[in-house]
A and B are shown apart, each in its own frame.
Chain A
Amino acid sequence: MKYSKNQLFWLVVLRVMIGWHFLYEGLAKLTNPNWSSVGYLLDSGDFMKDFFFNLASNPLTLEIVDFFNIWGLIAIGLGLILGMFCRVATWSGIILLVMYYLSHPPFVGIKYSILTEGSYLIVNKILIELSALIVLLVFPTSKRIGIDRLIFRKKQN
């Protein structure tokens, strides 16, 4: 696929910004000793509610969810910013965002106690970020601008 300079530039900007968001979310959770996904999981609504509630009610699964949230977010963030193993990072990001979306879908008639900062109906910022990641999956850039350029060049040869 051939990109114009402009296309490449803005695709990379989008990738880096999403990466920044992921990385900071991870770091903020890492440095807060009281952070746990439990409140978020218990606040879940709609058809996946029971699944998230079960994750929260078992100390072991909760521990795992917390671990993957913190280190997953950090790893995905770094992957996107640096363009390193970018395809895996993008896929992981999409999976994580699908989970976030399904736990709190802004559907008609569901109320959450965790406040969101805007007004949403079906489409929320999670869904938009998710779509943006899919765009990045379809228009990959890391082998042009990113460490993948070095990693995958060797393999190609």
Chain B
Amino acid sequence: MEENKKPGRRDALKALATVPVVGALAYSWYRKNKYDDLMKKAIREEVKLDESNPLLTRSVSNGKLIRLGIIGTGGRGTYLLRSAGFVHPKTIDAWIEAASENSADRRYKEFLEQEDLNIEVNGICDIYDINAKKAQEICANTKRSGSSGELASEPKRYNTYQELLAADDIDAVIIATPDHWHGTITIAAAKAGKHVYCEKPMTWTVPETYEVVKAVKENNIAFQLGHQNRQTESHFKAKEAYEKGILGKVNLIEVTTNRNSPGGAWVYHIDEEAGPNNIDWEQFIGPAPAHPFSLERFFRWRCWWDYSTGLSGDLFTHEYDAMNQILGLGIPHSAVSSGGIYFFKDGRTVPDVLQQAFEFPDKDLTMIYSASLASNMHRGKRIMGHDAYMEVGGNLQIYADTGSTKYKEKIKDHLIDPKIPIYSFTPGMKQVDAITSPTEQYFAGRGLLYTYRGGKRVDTSHLHIKDWLDCIRTGEQPTCNVDIGFEEAMTAHMGTIAYRENRKVYWDQDKQEIV
């Protein structure tokens, strides 16, 4: 019985019999970690990318109040107002309700967290009375409150952009009109000494593109073109990877558009209240060819060349500008284009399926743009180099190429696996996204909606507007300045001309013109 009271040797053996298993696991784990480290080291020798998150360096105290005007307050104009800090009280009500039903819906919370840019909106110009009134209400909501909150006085509504630009209580304007007005209003604004944030594409015609550059430079204004992808974190990383030669010699770029919904194909809702009584049709037409009043043309203007720049100006420009940002492409040497109206046979004149090929012989590469408005098959932006290829959107992935010269030895030694990314960047990994509409998903997947700063989700358009305002305060030029806009506009026009005139078009570098 003595044996039972004290744990004897036999007891101890039985109690500790499985302890060596822990040792075995620890040893195997150590070996596995060592192997993983070796793999990582092998990749790090090749991929010398900054581990930290990139940040914009510009940092300005919001010293001076900037007084804004906005011209064009439809869908995009309203979105830009939200990015600037102004939302309709009724929208706030809806957000609060949505958040109470679904805690993953953080629109309200994120909007409250969005930095105050120290601006006020003093003037609104829209040729559609209902939109103008809504925008006035939006801009009066300076405290970001719901309908029960207190509103400031509404900004003045101007019936023409000329009157708005003449106002002396406005320093800067946001232009979010249809494409056919972008150039004309930008030129007028610059001449009136107003700083300009203009939606893409920069221009509707080739000749006005030169005029815009001239007016912006002569009047020394801060000009920002609305390519908010310039603020996307993954794009900074992609640029760094490209510049460090991780991809080897890049020879082919493929950018795409895939949408498959009426909204995505610009078949927008037509307001029931809208009519000739509340739309200034004559002003809508402006530089465009005369046409009798048409609600369809007013609300779905993107479907007609008369007011639109089609896929090339509307959606390709986002893709091009991202590539121009990452690779510094400049204007291509030539462009060819083909496509047609194959699905949305609704009387539109712009194609809904479009392919464009741009040549950059001085860089030894081709850029292909391939678009369909009637298929959602996702194809990312792909940059193909001899040693590795990259897929970039909100995330970024780089894969070594099986035929790579640079990584040949390491692939042979199984230190690099071409099936596993040698570099992968996913901002805000621990965040939950509750993004709803298909169009938003389209933009989010392309890094056009949100980006991350310090692990926090931020609206890219907000950062893009902030960048512009900072530059107004410091006298610098914003990240998507007029020179970049010139490259964007000319490239898009080359694609459009190639399609519409069914010919190969060239860029004459010396004369700086499309031939």
Contacts and interface: CB of A to CB of B under 8 A. Distances in A.
A82 B19 contact: yes
Interface stretch (A93-101, A119-127, A130-138, A146-154): A146-154
A145 interface: yes
B432 A56 contact: yes
Contacts of A7: none
B21 A16 contact: yes
A24 B431 CA distance: 26
Given A36-B429, A150-B7, A31 B33 contact: yes
A148 B14 CA distance: 10
B430 A36 contact: yes
B430 A53 contact: no
A34 B429 contact: yes
Contact of B15 (A31, A56, A149): A149
Contacts of A153: 7, 11
Contacts of B29: 24, 27
Contacts of B18: 12, 16, 81-83, 145-146
Interface string B401-445: 000000000000000000000000010011110100000000000
Contact of A150 (B15, B103, B426): B15
Interface residues on A, range: 20 to 34
Q: Which of B15, B33, B430, B434 is most buried by chain A, counting CB atoms within 10 A of its CB?
A: B15
Contacts of B11: 149-150, 153
B16 interface: yes
Given A20-B21, A31-B33, A82-B19, A149 B14 contact: yes
Nearest to B104: A57
Nearest to B19: A82
B377 interface: no
Interface string B17-55: 111011001000100010000000000000000000000
B58 interface: no
Contacts of A42: 432
Nearest to A36: B430
A38 interface: yes
Given A54-B103, A149-B11, A20 B16 contact: no
A4 interface: no
18 contacts: A12-B17, A16-B21, A20-B25, A23-B22, A24-B29, A36-B429, A54-B103, A56-B432, A57-B103, A57-B104, A57-B432, A78-B22, A81-B22, A83-B15, A83-B18, A145-B17, A147-B16, A149-B7
Interface of A: 12, 16, 19-20, 23-24, 27, 31, 34, 36, 38, 42, 53-54, 56-58, 62, 78, 81-83, 144-150, 153, 157
Given A36-B429, A150-B12, 20 more contacts: A16-B18, A20-B25, A27-B29, A34-B426, A34-B429, A42-B432, A57-B103, A78-B22, A81-B22, A82-B18, A82-B19, A82-B22, A83-B18, A144-B14, A145-B14, A146-B18, A148-B15, A149-B11, A150-B11, A157-B5
Instruction: Enumerate the 9 nearest inter-chain pairs by beta-carbon distance, A residue then B residue, closest first.
Output: A57-B104, A149-B15, A150-B15, A57-B103, A36-B430, A57-B432, A145-B17, A81-B21, A16-B21
